[in-house]
Structures are given as C-alpha cells and as structure tokens.
Structure 1
Amino acid sequence: MKLQGTMLVKENELYIGGVSCKELREKYQTPLYVFDEDLVRNNCREYVKHFRVNKENNRVAYAGKAFLPIYMCKLINEEGLCLDVVSGGELYTAYKAQFPMEKILFHGNNKTIEEIKMGVELGVGRFVVDNYYELELLEKICEEKGEKQAVYFRITPGIEAHTHEYIKTGQIDSKFGFTLSNGELYNALEKLNNYKNIELVGIHAHIGSQIFEVEPYLDEVKIMMNLVKEIKESYNIDIKEVDLGGGMGVYYTEEDKPKTIKKFCEAIIEKTEEVCKKIDIKVPILIIEPGRSIVANGGSTIYTVGAMKHIKGIRTYVSVDGGMTDNIRPSLYQAGYECAIANKIGEKRKNQVTISGKCCESGDILITDTNIMDIKSGDILIISSTGAYGYSMASNYNKITKPAVVSVQNGKSKLICKRQSYEDLFKLEVV
C-alpha cells in the first residue's frame, strides 16, 4: 500500500497525522473514516496557487459530492475555494456551515422547484442551468421574488474521455447539459431574450471523472473558447466566465498514473492563453471543480478483521466489519484499492486474500486477490484513498449504521461526524 500524506510507519504500526491506527480504533471503534487534514489542506493550496486564483481571479470550486460534512465546508472556505453543490441537501449543508452563498455554483440536471427556490432565496452565486425546463422554472421563481440570477449554461461538448462508462459525462449521449452538436445550445441562446430575470455570464462543461490524460481537457478548452467567441459574435453576449469542470484522476492502485495538480492546472491555463490569443478574444475567468483530487488520498478507512474462510485451491476470504455500506465503489463500478494491516505494516506480504464486507450480498467485495501480511482475526485492516465517495455514498443497507469520521493532524484526532447509533436508524420511521 502506497503511503499517502502524513502516513508514517513506527515500530510496525501505521500512523496518520501523528496518530496510530491502533489508538484510533481504541478511541472511536471501527469501521472508521480517517481524514488526513494536512494532506487535504495542502491539495487545496496547490490548486489555489497553480490555478492562479489570487493572481488572475480564477476560481477553484470544490465538488461537494465527493465529501461534504459541515467541517469540510468550513475548511474549503478557509482555504479560499468556492463550492459546487448538486442538491438542496448539499446547499443546506453549506448554509449551516455559513459558507458564503455568492461563492456557490448550483449544479444538477433536475433541480426541484423547492431546490431552485432555496437557491434563489439564499443568494446562490451561480446556477448552472442544465435544460429548458430549469430555465423556465428559474425565470418564473426569480420573477416572483423580484431577483435577477446569474447563470452558466452547461454544455455537452462531445468529448469522449477514457474512464469508466458510469462516470463519463462529456460525450453526446449524456443526461447532462445542452448538447452542442445537435443545436440545443443555440436554441437556448436564442430563447434568452424571453427571460428578463436571468443573466448568462458563463458556460460550463464536465467531461468525466478519474481522467489521467491532460489532452481531453485541452480539447475542451479549445471548444469552450471558440464557443465564447461564437456566442459574442452571433448573440452579442459576453461570456466572462468559463467553467471546465473537474475529473482529474488520482492514485488508487499501481495502475494509476495521475498528473500533479501543478501540471494539470498549468496545462489548462497555458492552452487557454494560447487559444484566446489565436482567436483574438480576452481570456475569461476560469473555473475548475476538483473533488476527488482534493480528498480521495486524504481519506482512509480502518476496519477490524473478523471471520476468515479458506477455500482450498480457490481463495481465502477475509471479512471486515464494514463493506459496501461504507464503500460502494468496488461493487458499483469495480473500483480498485490498496490495503494493509495497520498493526503489522512493516511485515512482508506473503498471503493472497480477498477482502469481503459483512453485507448479505455476494458482491460485497472490497478488494479481490490482494497480497497482504500474515493476517488474523482482530487485526486492523486499512484501505487507503477512500476520502472521496466513501462517506458521501454510505448507506444503511442491512440496517448497518454509518461509521464515524475523524480528522487527524499534528498528533491529535478530532471527531467531525458521529457514528450512527441503532436509535438513529429509526428517527424517520413512524410507528
């Protein structure tokens, strides 16, 4: 298992943020999400620096869907980031965290009437409009409330990125956005004169997630900048902001070869300057929306090993006290992870096992056929890089309670999300 961030080995024990996994289990129980605060903050600062946020007024909007407790909202605000939300719940979380509403981008391909009303009432900075239906609703609600709303149009640019089918979004066949190739975008632009309470200030595109190549983003830059020019010339609308989405790939296993944040940001900015100079337009304010690349490697999940089953000539199953309820990604789209025994971190890996969860599902497998140290019931198993989409996609399937989340930093741990109790499971049930 690759050591990430502040991970350190002392006397065969794994420490994160200066705190041993053994101490974390004793204090908080398992399963447990562990949040390496220094690593996450450093990633935020790398984006702010290399995307020239302070120098050129560009913006980095954290994609809240990756991981969004109130604590994370406060952290990204402290680090100078904006926030991308996709639901009323995420927006309300930001409100409870006192996150500046003008720094919020409100996404979503089917925002409800209630969500749109909430966004307008709270003063969301930008609505990322996805379709005609939303345009009509937003105009009507803004008219009723006497408000004018700044918006981006979400574009489907027709770019195929090499990633898993379920996390592609930029290709023509997508549920998101106004499709460029079939004229939908131009129809929407022509309709803008009918809307007196909506101001188009930007365009947005997102081509997918867990993308390692820079080239698809450079293609996106070229398409979007040419579109800025075309919209000005054909519709006399100044597009001042261009949002290029997120999707930068991160390390999960040895097969992954991610680019650095610096290289990713510099490539986008350099290509933007090159294209704008070539087509003779002013460089717009640029926005990117990283989520996974900020928190994925900054999160780990620790478990306690329970039952083990050896099937001679086939495999050995090692079961832990969590599974698909705290990390659905392996079951959902065969996501790969690395693991280790945190209390035996320095020992040789001499056994091949499959790490299984405790759910009543044959597909509840976290890692298949991985080499690991000598393993016994009661050991602490850690799976790294679970910071993105672990907690945010957690469920109560099989009536399993959700784990706690702790932040570790400078030798201290801090609870940021409580462990769900059995009584918590019934708070919404009517007897």
Structure 2
Amino acid sequence: MLPVNIAHKAEQLINTPLQSDCSSDNSFTEQQSDPVCAYIYDINALKIHAKQMRSQLPNNCELFYAAKANPEAPILQALSSIVDGFEAASGGELYWLRQQLPQQKLIFGGPGKLDSELSAAIDLAVELLHVESLYELHRLQQIAQNKERKVAILLRMNIAIGEISQTRLSMGGKPTPFGIEAAQLGEALTLINSCSNIELKGFHFHLMSHQLDYQNHIQLMSLYFKTFKQWCKDYQLDLKHLNVGGGIGINYSSPQTPFNWPQFCEELNQLIQTYEMQDITIRFECGRYISASCGYYCMQVLDIKQSYGKNFVVARGGTHHFRTPAAQNHNHPFTIVRQNNNNQHKLPTVTQQKVTIVGQLCTPKDVLCSDQEVAQLSVGDLVVFTYAGAYAWNISHQNFLMHDKPQMIFLAESTQETINND
C-alpha cells in the first residue's frame, strides 16, 4: 500500500499529466501530453524518519547524512535541522553541500582525492578530512603548509572482519582501494608526527555495506570499539573521534522486515558502556537508510506484450532514470495505481499473471523486476517503485538515448509541491 499522499499524487499524475519538457533541441513531444514518468519524494516522511533515527542514538553518537545517496537540494534542506552534519565524497559534492548548507558541519572522504579537492576542503572549512593513504598524508601536509593552515583528520583504516558474517558488499581485511591496512598504522602515525600542519583526531572504519542484520552490525561495532581502544593504548594516543561509517541497507526483497534500528541503538548503548566509550564522539554517516524510503519512481504503462510465453510490461522511463534494480541485481518492490478508463477492456491487460517490467531502452538489461505476479495491470496504469529515494536517479545513466528526464516532485508538509525538470 502506498501512503495516502503518494497515492493521491500518483492519481493526479495519471488523470492530469503535465506537459513534457524535453531537454533536447529536438523536442518533438513538447506540445503533447505524454504518459507519466516521475520521481515523487515525501519530504515530511523523510523528516519523521530522520528525527526518529537521530533521537534513538546514544548521547555521544552523531548522525551525518552521506550526500552520495541523494544530493537533491530539497532532501538536503529537509535534513539540515535534523542531522549533525553531511559527508561529501568528491569535490563536486563538497562545493554543492557548502553552497546549499553554508553553516553545516561537513566531512570529506573517499579515495583518489585531487590536490584541488584537498585544497578546497581546507578553504571550505571541512571539520574532518578522512585520509585514505600514506601518500595522501604527504600531499595534504604540503597543501596545508602552503596555506599556513592546520587540518584535522581521521585515518580511514582497513582491518580484518574476522568471524563476523559478511554482507554481499564487504570491504574489510581484503585488498580494496579504501583505507590504510592495519599493518601500516605505525608508519602512518610516524608520518603524522612529522607533519606540523596535520592533527590526528581519530579513526574511520567502514568495512561493510548493505547490512540488514542489526546483531551482525553490533558485532561490527564491537570490533571497531575494541580496535580503537587497543590502538589508543598501544600507541599512547588521546583520540576523541570514531567514525563508524554507514552501510545499513534496505531489504528490497522483503521491505516488511527492515533493519531494526531501534534495537540496534539500544544494544549500541550497552556496548558503549561495556567498552567505556562514553567520552568518544561516535559518528555514523548513513545515506541509503535515511533517504531511500522517502522516494517513489512512477512509470506509466505503455504496452503489454507476450514473448515466448512471458509477459513484458513496457513502461515510460527505465534504468536510465532508476538504475537501482540493475545496480543491485534485484527485483525492486512496486505497487500499482489503476487507471479509471472506460475503454479498459480494449486495452492490453494481464490478470493474476507474472510480469517482467521493463523500460524504453534499446537493451535487454533495462529490467526493473522480473516474473512478479500482479492481480491486474493494463496499459495506462501507473507502476510505482518504492524505496527509490537513494542511489536511484543520481546514479543512473541519465543521458542514454536522450530520453526526457522524469518529473521531480517534492511533497512538503504544507502539501505544496516543487516540480523541477532541470
């Protein structure tokens, strides 16, 4: 079931489609009223969810939003008074975040930082810069020295996960471009001691993504806390910051059984007491888990056809707008908004059958879900994909085949809407 406000807006889109606004010079559809293709974002739901997340964290924990998940300006503005800050993973994100959120705390991470990006991070007053390699340390020291500025950093470390169950995207204790392996910590600390413009504030661990099991994540936190305390003891470090990354996933195959954030926070608080981490600022930088549930991708059905015994539903849009299903290799959850059409019996229709929903692209990989049973679906109906608020529009190959962009609709608390086709 869709939330009432989303269902209402979807029905409005079907019954009164907006005029197409083609970005191409060959705008042959601009005078027509084309079938619907849109993103709808529930800003109020986003705020409620983020507030609940933030309020359930232990007192010494902070919640940052990883902008890579969805950097749309209304999303950032909605979160600005709720989260403790924002994480950038590129120079482009850094400038965008500072432009949109001039007073917010920013942190900057990711491999392969350019010298110009390191310089910009200093100029834009990034609170903490996450260093990924020894060579990056050398470069950062030189840049900071030239600017006669101090830079506060965290070392991103790649440590072994051990016996903890791995997710389908694990990055710990194996060769990756992310972070510094534990064996190089001594060398990194020696180098920092020689860098007069660099101040080490703590460590950053991010070893898993797509985490669905809160108990598994608690085990990971235990590993982080134990490692942090041991290193502080072994190297006589007085550090006050531990960034534990994000990595909490969305259960796309079974949305009714999500990651148990309240229980995770409760056990996290107990873990903090056990490891005596109360005086350490523990920072989460979540993206997907914050914004995914506020977004909906809507496609109006253009055609229904059979091919060798299989039903294909062809809808307006596709993976060039909504790459999430292809990127994650899953059947994305969806619901159907039926069209009240008096001639519906003349339209191609499937009833109590399995369908594969595809887009308009000239590739067999343009599939959003396969062999999913529907009660009834006709040409003209709207297929609404839920959990489309993260790693969706912004990771898609948007210019492939030069199709029109989807409408971008943001439903605010006042029920006013912002529509942006740029």
- TM-score class normalised by the smaller sequence: 0.7 to 0.9
1:237 maps to 237
Shift of 1:282: 5.5
2:78 maps to 75
Write the mapping of 1:329-348 to structure 2, written as runs, cut at 5 A: 329-343=324-338
Write the mapping of 1:50-89 to structure 2, written as runs, cut at 5 A: 50-52=56-58, 56-89=59-92
Q: Show CA shifts across 1:283-317 (max 9, x none).
A: 4111111111111111111111112221253x111
Shift of 1:208: 2.2
Q: Show CA shifts across 1:71-111 (max 9, x none).
A: 2222221214311110111111111113435x111011111
1:195 maps to 195
Shift of 1:161: 5.0
Shift of 1:171: 4.0
Q: 1:301 aligns with which of 274, 279, 297?
A: 297
Structure 1 pair 374–225 and aligned structure 2 pair: CA distance change class (3 A): closer
**CA–CA distance in 1 between the matches of 2:246 and 2:165?**
12
Q: Is the 8 A contact 2:339 2:380 kept in 1?
A: no
Structure 1 pair 270–20 and aligned structure 2 pair: CA distance change class (3 A): same
Structure 1 pair 99–269 and aligned structure 2 pair: CA distance change class (3 A): farther
1:12 maps to none
Write the mapping of 1:322-401 to structure 2, written as runs, cut at 5 A: 322-343=317-338, 350-394=352-396, 395-401=398-404
1:286 maps to 282
- Is 1:267 the counterpart of 2:267 in the alignment? yes
Q: 2:50 aligns with which of 44, 53, 68?
A: 44
Q: Is the 8 A contact 2:154 2:204 kept in 1?
A: yes
**CA–CA distance in 2 between the matches of 1:98 and 1:367?**
37
2:9 maps to 20
2:210 maps to 210
Structure 1 pair 413–205 and aligned structure 2 pair: CA distance change class (3 A): same
RMSD (Å), alpha carbons = 2.4
1:115 maps to 117
Shift of 1:217: 2.6
2:313 maps to 318
Q: Secondary structure at the match of 2:378?
A: coil
Q: Is the 8 A contact 1:401 1:419 kept in 2?
A: no
2:152 maps to 150
Q: Is the 8 A contact 1:272 1:283 kept in 2?
A: no
Shift of 1:273: 1.8
Count matched residues: 394
**CA–CA distance in 1 between the matches of 2:358 and 2:87?**
34
**CA–CA distance in 2 between the matches of 1:355 and 1:240?**
50
Q: Is the 8 A contact 2:90 2:117 kept in 1?
A: yes
**CA–CA distance in 2 between the matches of 1:322 and 1:48?**
35
Q: Secondary structure at the match of 1:296?
A: helix
1:429 maps to none
**CA–CA distance in 1 between the matches of 2:123 and 2:351?**
56
Q: 1:127 aligns with which of 129, 145, 161?
A: 129
Q: Is the 8 A contact 1:163 1:208 kept in 2?
A: yes
Q: Is the 8 A contact 2:320 2:400 kept in 1?
A: yes
Shift of 1:410: 4.7
The gaps in structure 1 that reach 5 residues or longer are: 9-14, 421-431
**CA–CA distance in 2 between the matches of 1:404 and 1:198?**
46
**CA–CA distance in 2 between the matches of 1:78 and 1:192?**
35
Q: Is the 8 A contact 1:71 1:97 kept in 2?
A: no
Q: Is the 8 A contact 1:120 1:142 kept in 2?
A: yes
Q: Is the 8 A contact 1:352 1:372 kept in 2?
A: yes
Q: Is the 8 A contact 2:108 2:126 kept in 1?
A: yes
Q: Secondary structure at the match of 1:297?
A: helix
**CA–CA distance in 1 between the matches of 2:114 and 2:284?**
25
Normalising by the residue count of structure 2, what TM-score does the alignment of the two structures yield? 0.87
Q: Indicate the larger mover: 20-29 or 124-133.
A: 20-29
Q: Show CA shifts across 1:244-274 (max 9, x none).
A: 1111122323277323321222222321221
Structure 1 pair 411–108 and aligned structure 2 pair: CA distance change class (3 A): same
Q: Indicate the larger mover: 295-304 or 204-213.
A: 204-213
**CA–CA distance in 1 between the matches of 2:49 and 2:197?**
37
Normalising by the residue count of structure 1, what TM-score does the alignment of the two structures yield? 0.85
Q: Indicate the larger mover: 130-139 or 259-268.
A: 259-268
Shift of 1:412: 2.1
Shift of 1:401: 3.6
